[in-house]
Amino acid sequence: MREEELRSRLQALAVAGRVAPEPTAIGAVRRRARRKLQGATALVLVALVVAVGGVRLATEVADRPSIAPVVPVAPPSGPPAAVAPATFVGQVGDGSSRRTVIIDASTGRVLRQVPGTDRQADHVADAVVGPDLRSLYLPAAGPGAASSCDGGWTQVDLTTGARRPAFGGLTGVGELSLSADGRTLAYLHTSAPSAMDRTQFQCHTELVVRELASERQRVWTIPSGGSVQGLQLSPDATRLVYLLARTPGGDRLLHLLPLAGTTSVVEGHDLPAAGDCPMSMWRFLDDRQLLALGCVTEPFDNLLVRFDLETRRVLSTLPLGLPVEPFSLDVDRSGRQVLLAAAGKPNDQRPATVYLLRDDRPQRVPFAGDCWQADW
């Protein structure tokens, strides 16, 4: 009986296992399904909210200057805008007396005097200012006529006034010009002739370009009776410009000499004439361009002439409206700012005045005294 009873109970359980679930069980399943669907929908909505919120947050962060990421800024292309120097070096004084001062270019006020520069000058413009604006070069005084052939220069520190023999004590140095880096010196080398004329003493002269550190140098001959004046060495020390007379009393022409492959000052090329007068002074604007001062005579006026040295042509001429004698011309290291010292106008009480070139017109620096030479 026990086996029959056990068998009947197992059959009953098998039948019970095949019975369909009750309606309450189906409802519970449906409710669970709805909850799963709602949960999935909620997750999708949350994901969307997070995504949209993230985009908005990123946008807001980018708009907040205090926490915005740093974006690299490329520097502007091309050279920086040229700004006129704030000061210049002036050689000032009455008559032949000179002293060196630093002058404010806007106000004309003397900021300071360079110690120990009081002197008597034989020429209107007697100083050479170094290209780094740290040194001044003055002719060294020497007794006797023969000393004019072996003269030297004195280097003066523009800050302290300290003096020492210039260029290692080099002698026989006449006119000179330095390269932009101060490493190369071009000068007229003078020496006493082997046989001196008792009626007229004249030094033997030749052109020398010297590397100051190594003391290596080259020499260019000057023909008998010829003369060279106003040496200007290009910033890169590859060419010279000067006023050349090939014969005694001959025409004086502005001349361009390439240093490579030449041995005489007459080699190279004459620059074209501009205006009615020989050029009186000149300065390199850069390695390729030259600024020179000439004149026109009807009516008289100073003429600023710009040359292209590659093509050896006149690029422009500019009448300055200054019918007076010029004393000095200089260009700053940018090659764009021009400084001019000239005699006062006929009705002006100042014998020597400094002008800045502004918008192609000279503007007087309101300096109270006489300034015979200006450099910056």
| pLDDT (0 to 100) of residue 68 | 37
Work out the burial of residue 341: count CB atoms within 10 Å of its CB; fewer than 13 is exposed, 13-18 middle, 19 or more buried: buried
17-27 per-position pLDDT tens digit: 443 344 444 44
**Of 112, 116, 161, nearest to 135 (Cα)?**
161
In the chain, % helix, strand, coil (3-state, to 5) comes to 15, 40, 45
How many angstroms separate the CA atoms of 199 and 176, rounded? 28
pLDDT digits (tens, 9 = 90+) for 213-225: 999 999 999 999 9
10 Å CB burial of residue 280 (0-12, 13-18, 19+) is middle
DSSP helix/strand/coil, 60: helix
Instruction: Report which of 142, 140, 92 is spatially closest to residue 118, judged by C-alpha positions.
Output: 92
Q: Give, as one character, the DSSP assignment of residue 78.
A: S
CB under 8 Å to 6, separation ≥6 — which residues?
A: none
pLDDT in tens, 108-142: 999 999 999 999 998 888 999 999 999 999 999 76
Stated as kind and residue range, the H or E segment containing 128 is strand 128-129
For 274-314, what is each residue's pLDDT tens digit?
999 999 999 999 999 999 999 999 899 999 999 999 999 99
